[in-house]
Amino acid sequence: MPGMPPSTSPTRFAYLGPEGTFAEAALSAVSSAGGSRYPQPSVPAALAAVRSGDADAALVPLENSVEGSVPATMDGLADGAPLVITREVFLDVAFVLAVRPGTEQAGVRSVASHPHALAQTAGRLAELFPGVVPLPVSSTAGAAAAVAAGDFDAAVCAPIAAERYGLVALVDDLADTPGAVTRFVLVEPAGALPAPTGNDKTSLVAVVGDRTGALLALLSEFAVRGISLTRIESRPTRERLGVYSFSLDCEGHIADARVGEALAALHRVCDDVRFLGSYARADGRENVPVPDVAADAAFADAEGWLAGIRGGPSPR
């Protein structure tokens, strides 16, 4: 498969910009040793930069603990030239209401931010500005930049964005639900995969047909091999009503016998399967212990037993 060789680490990073987004903050955990950073106007643009070769990797949001998945990322990974996730990053998310210096609460007539940020602060915004309808923009930092330019009166953004664009925080800790976390993924061209660590995740997208029991058949391939799913979500394939793709994460690495066998089985029972990578788990949790009957040694023993039967008795 095309992609960077195993010894090459990415040095050119695309991310959801502009400067000052939560994505940039998450990228700091990945590229702390250096590298070039290229802010992009949208998630599709960040993924396109990797596919075109303008960047080695892209850091994009996949899901939030309050608002759920990011459709642009899910759809962007499911379509187009194959890309794989090589790392995940979890970032605590805190919002401030950023305004130009000197702006008071009574002077706020327009508020802008990314839709996920607006959803996570809807209650507080309604209390503070009951007559104001928040306006969605492409990113939290973009909203801060627009406030600095005079396009809006206030932005819901990260503290780093307020600082970056010369704004001040009119309200701190704006979130309706404190302690929100966003999961970001580092995406690279399909190629060499990170080595198994013993505490990994595997991501994929499977398309099931419009037929009875299709989803059950998909789930059964994991259940019979003792593989736990950590996330599963449906998305329309846009072909026609009733045909869906399922984006999911499971415990384990494709190098594990049980995971590899499950994906091979899905290739047989599903209309389409797209592998999205195996990578170290970073959410602070440990995978469910693998039962003896699902360990690699058990699969090897079963294969040897079957090969012996198929080969017949040894000649004397």
List per-block mean pLDDT (blocks of 10 residues) for the chain, which spans 316 residues: 51 90 88 82 95 96 90 93 96 94 96 93 95 92 96 95 95 90 95 93 91 89 95 85 86 96 94 96 93 91 93 65
* Burial class (CB within 10 angstroms; exposed 0-12, middle 13-18, buried 19+) of 187: buried
Task: With CA atoms as reference, report the closest residue to 219 among 260, 270, 145.
Answer: 270
Predicted local confidence at residue 77, as pLDDT: 95
CA dist., res. 72 & res. 187, Å (int): 14
Query: Which DSSP helix (H) or strand (E) runs through 280?
Result: strand 272-280
Which secondary-structure segment (H or E) carries 246? strand 244-251
Contact 245, 235 (CB under 8 A): yes
* DSSP percent split of the chain into helix, strand, coil, nearest 5: 30, 30, 40
What is the DSSP code (8-state) at residue 101?
A: T
Q: Determine which helix (DSSP H) or strand (DSSP E) holds 190, and give its type and residue range.
A: none
Residue 181: predicted pLDDT: 93
| Residue 107 per-residue DSSP state | G
In which element (H, E) is residue 93 found? none
- 269: amino acid identity, one letter: V
Residue with tokens 């915004």: 125
Task: Specify the pLDDT at position 19.
Answer: 87
What integer pLDDT is reported at residue 33 of this predicted model? 56
**Greatest C-alpha distance within the chain:** 96
Tokens 């998909």 sit at which residue? 218
C-alpha pair distances (Å), 119 with each of 75, 158, 174, 302: 21, 15, 11, 51
| Confidence (pLDDT) at 210 | 77
- Buried b / exposed e along 208-238 (16+ C-beta atoms within 10 A): beeeeebeebbeebbeebbbeebeebebebe
Whole-angstrom distance, CA of residue 57 vs CA of residue 5: 13
Tell me, rounded to whole angstroms, the distance of Cα 211 from its chain centroid. 29
